[in-house]
Amino acid sequence: MDKEVIDMAKTKIKKIKIKQTKSRIGAPKDQCRTLDALGLRKLNKVVELVDNPAVRGMINKVNHLVTVID
């Protein structure tokens, strides 16, 4: 059991940086809620999230409002 915990600690969790580049004004409510779920509440804010399919799906939904930073 301890070996598994140590192995998981050694593995790097992939992260992704997202920046809100466009305003949410005029966007539908579901897209505003998606930005909230991503932690983007102000213009030009950058957040770092775990790179997983759920986050990728949210980015895809608001891809016209955000930019992925490498």
Beta bridge partners of 17: 48, 69
Q: Please report how many Cα atoms fall inside a 13 Å half-sphere around the Cα of residue 68, on the Cβ side.
A: 14
The token pair that represents 27 in the structure block:
């966007």
Single-letter code of the amino acid located at 8 = M
- Domain for residue 28, yes or no? yes
Return the pLDDT at 13. 85
CB 68 within 8 A of CB 17: yes
CATH code, 29: 3.30.1390.20
In a domain, 7, yes or no: no
Q: Which helix (H) or strand (E) covers residue 67, if one does?
A: strand 66-69
Tally of domains in the chain: 1
Q: Summarize pLDDT for 40-52 with one digit per residue, the tens.
A: 999 999 999 999 9
* This model's pTM is above 0.85: no
Question: Which residue numbers in the chain have pLDDT < 50?
Answer: none
* pLDDT score of 1: 55
DSSP annotation of 31: H
- Residue 35 maps to a domain: yes
